[in-house]
């Protein structure tokens, strides 16, 4: 759920390293060429390579986040390719062409990672850079009116280029398969490219509205009763604000100095406070029977220290329960049973709520609802206003390698969820 944009910082670090190496190695190359005495054309191309590398080393290194959406960085790759192709024709050797593949590799990597919103643009820019490289070669060959490389040189250069560029391109396709799948795009068309992340954003929007809606219900009850907020109520509102910050941080992956650490992986005792808040917000009626059962490592019979070792990923836990409880509230269920069981593998959640209008004879209802809600067969995704809660739960649970299924047992809707024990270190567990 903390997805693609988290990789940008790593990408910038690698490109900073590339800028540093470009400058120092271009300087070494410039000295090496001048030590043997060079022609005017060699002087021009080697100096161009050194100058452009120096400019980007001094102006862009460490500041790529400021220039990443502009034309400046691609200019570096184009000039480097141009310079190496020129050096190849000036020296009448293929060696610079092999080195010229390196800026192509760096450019492809940069384009595929720097634009998280529109991955197909990154791909088109990558191929545009390859086209520029080939154009430079054929232009120089036309000007020189000679074949600068032999047949066998061409074979080895082609294999080298295909091998290296293919490794980067298809390696990224596989690594970024959640963001953009080549084979899915071939099968289903361009619309599928951004579907996963568009859906996640829509789910997040849906869940945030649910969270603030619950807070709104609480505040509205105070207004309706003509009551002010007590210190306890203010603490509750403050906790909701901090939770909202945690959910936003978890979704986008950004840090901020005003966001407190320690609320991503928490012990279940802490998570229970969020559960109670959700129940109070969405199921406040005196006529609602709500039963809570805790088993395994989180039962009351277990020691406090053992219960504190039962941890969950809090943003996932809260968003899942928020969707479930809000759906129950909208169904006007009056009888609900929550069962939480924690063992060495993780947390199992079973929620049963009575459905007032259900006919027991309709044995296919659960299957049909599953197809409608989880397979998007009725209303286009962007136009739907309902059913997103269960889809969001399914997406969230899959993110953490958990399971989610729902069924109808008699007159009860039964939701079963499993959230694995977090694998991350729990040094930041909230007390």
**Phi, psi (degrees; rounded to nearest 5) at 403:** -135, 150
Q: Is the pLDDT of residue 246 over 60?
A: yes
Render pLDDT for 250-293 as a digit per residue (tens, 0 to 9). Answer: 777 777 777 776 678 888 998 898 899 888 888 887 888 889 99
Flag the least confident range among 47-56, 221-230, 404-413: 221-230
Question: What does the pLDDT read at residue 146?
Answer: 57
pLDDT-derived band at 418, boundaries 50, 70, 90: very high
Q: Residue 414 forms beta bridges with which residues?
A: 352, 407
Question: What does the pLDDT read at residue 304?
Answer: 85
pLDDT-derived band at 67, boundaries 50, 70, 90: low
Full 3-state SS string of the chain? CCCCCHHHHHHHHHHHHHHHHHHHHHHHHHHHHHCCCCCHHHHHHHHHHHHHHHHHHHHCCCCHHHHCCCCHHHHHHHHHHHHHHHHHHHHCCCHHHHHHHHHHHHHHHHHHHHCCCCHHHHHHHHHHHHHHHHHHHHHHHHHHCCCCCCHHHHHHHHHHHHHHHHHHHHHHHHHCCCCCCHHHHHHHCHHHCCHHHHHHHHHHHHHHHHHHHHHHHHHHHHHHCCCCCCHHHHHHHHHHHHHHHHHHHHHHCCCCCCCCCCCCEEEHHHHHHHHHHHHHHHCCCCCCEEEEEEEECCCCCCCHHHHCCCEEEHHHHHHHHHHHHHHHHHCCCCEEEEEEEECCCEEEEEEEEECCCCCCCCCCHHHHHHHHHHCCCCCCHHHCCCCHHHHHHHHHHHHCCCEEEEEEECCEEEEEEEEECCCCCCCCCCC
Question: What does the pLDDT read at residue 298?
Answer: 92
The stretch 205-233 carries a mean pLDDT of: 78
Task: Report the predicted TM-score, pTM, of the whole model to 2 decimal places.
Answer: 0.49
Q: Is the pLDDT of residue 354 over 80?
A: yes
- Tell which wins on pLDDT, 417 or 95: 417
Flag the least confident range among 130-139, 289-298, 408-417: 130-139
Would you state the structure tokens that stand for residue 370, as one six-digit string?
């599953």
pLDDT-derived band at 419, boundaries 50, 70, 90: very high
Question: What does the pLDDT read at residue 4?
Answer: 40
Question: What does the pLDDT read at residue 381?
Answer: 42
Question: What does the pLDDT read at residue 342?
Answer: 94
How far is it, in rounded angstroms, from Cα 241 to Cα 249?
12
The stretch 297-303 carries a mean pLDDT of: 90
The position carrying tokens 């009860």 is 412
Flag the least confident range among 9-18, 76-85, 291-300, 375-384: 375-384
* Percent of the chain clearing pLDDT 70 (strictly above): 66
Please tell me the number of Cα atoms within 13 Å of 3 on its side-chain side: 21
Question: What does the pLDDT read at residue 292?
Answer: 93
Render pLDDT for 108-162 as a digit per residue (tens, 0 to 9). Answer: 777 766 644 444 455 566 666 666 666 666 666 655 555 556 666 666 666 766 7
- Tell which wins on pLDDT, 187 or 46: 46
- Considering 165-169, 203-207, 234-238, 325-329, the range whose residues carry the highest mean pLDDT is 325-329
Query: Which sign does the torsion angle of CA 235, 241, 243, 246 carry?
Result: negative
Question: What does the pLDDT read at residue 386?
Answer: 45
Question: What does the pLDDT read at residue 350?
Answer: 94
Render pLDDT for 15-54 as a digit per residue (tens, 0 to 9). Answer: 788 888 888 888 888 888 888 777 777 788 888 888 988 8
Delineate the domains of the chain, giving CATH numbers in brackets. 6-193 (no CATH), 197-420 (3.30.565.10)
Render pLDDT for 321-348 as a digit per residue (tens, 0 to 9). Answer: 988 988 888 888 889 999 999 998 999 9
Question: What does the pLDDT read at residue 352?
Answer: 92
Question: What does the pLDDT read at residue 295?
Answer: 92
Question: What does the pLDDT read at residue 427?
Answer: 40
């Amino acid at each position: 759920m903390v997805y693609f944009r988290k990789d940008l910082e790593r990408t910038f670090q690698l490109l900073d390293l590339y800028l540093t190496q470009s400058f120092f190695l271009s300087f070494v190359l410039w000295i090496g060429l001048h030590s043997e005495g060079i022609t005017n054309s060699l002087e021009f191309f080697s100096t161009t390579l050194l100058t452009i590398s120096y400019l980007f080393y001094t102006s862009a290194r460490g500041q790529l986040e400021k220039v990443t959406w502009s034309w400046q960085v691609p200019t570096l790759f184009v000039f480097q390719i141009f310079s190496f192709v020129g050096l190849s024709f000036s020296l009448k050797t293929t060696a610079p062409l092999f080195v010229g593949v390196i800026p192509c590799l760096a450019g492809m990597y940069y384009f595929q990672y720097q634009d998280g919103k529109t991955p197909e643009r990154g791909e088109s820019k990558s191929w545009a850079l390859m086209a520029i490289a080939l154009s430079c070669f054929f232009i120089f060959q036309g000007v020189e009116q000679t074949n600068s490389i032999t047949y066998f040189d061409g074979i080895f250069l082609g294999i080298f280029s295909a091998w290296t560029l293919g490794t980067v391109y298809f390696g990224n396709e596989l690594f970024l398969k959640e963001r953009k799948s080549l084979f899915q795009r071939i099968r289903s068309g361009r619309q599928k490219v951004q579907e996963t992340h568009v859906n996640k954003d829509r789910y997040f929007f849906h869940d945030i509205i649910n969270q603030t809606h619950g807070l709104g219900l609480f505040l509205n009850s105070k207004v309706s009763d003509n009551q002010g907020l007590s210190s306890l109520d203010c603490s509750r509102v403050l906790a909701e604000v901090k939770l909202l910050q945690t959910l936003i941080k978890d979704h986008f992956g950004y840090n901020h100095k005003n966001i407190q650490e320690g609320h991503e992986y928490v012990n279940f005792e802490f998570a229970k406070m969020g559960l109670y808040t959700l129940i109070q917000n969405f199921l406040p009626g005196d006529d609602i029977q709500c039963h809570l059962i805790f088993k395994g490592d989180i039962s009351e019979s277990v020691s406090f220290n053992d219960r504190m070792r039962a941890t969950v990923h809090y943003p996932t836990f809260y968003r899942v329960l928020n969707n479930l409880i809000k759906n129950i509230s909208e169904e006007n269920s009056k009888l609900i049973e929550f069962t939480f069981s924690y063992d060495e593998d993780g947390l199992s959640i079973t929620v049963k709520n009575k459905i007032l209008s259900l006919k027991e004879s309709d044995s296919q209802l659960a299957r049909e609802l599953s197809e409608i809600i989880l397979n998007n067969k009725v209303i286009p995704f962007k136009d739907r206003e309902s059913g997103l809660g269960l889809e969001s739960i399914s997406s969230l649970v899959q993110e953490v390698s958990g399971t989610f299924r729902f069924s109808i047992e008699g007159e009860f809707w039964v939701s079963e969820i499993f959230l694995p024990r977090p694998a991350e270190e729990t040094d930041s567990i909230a007390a």
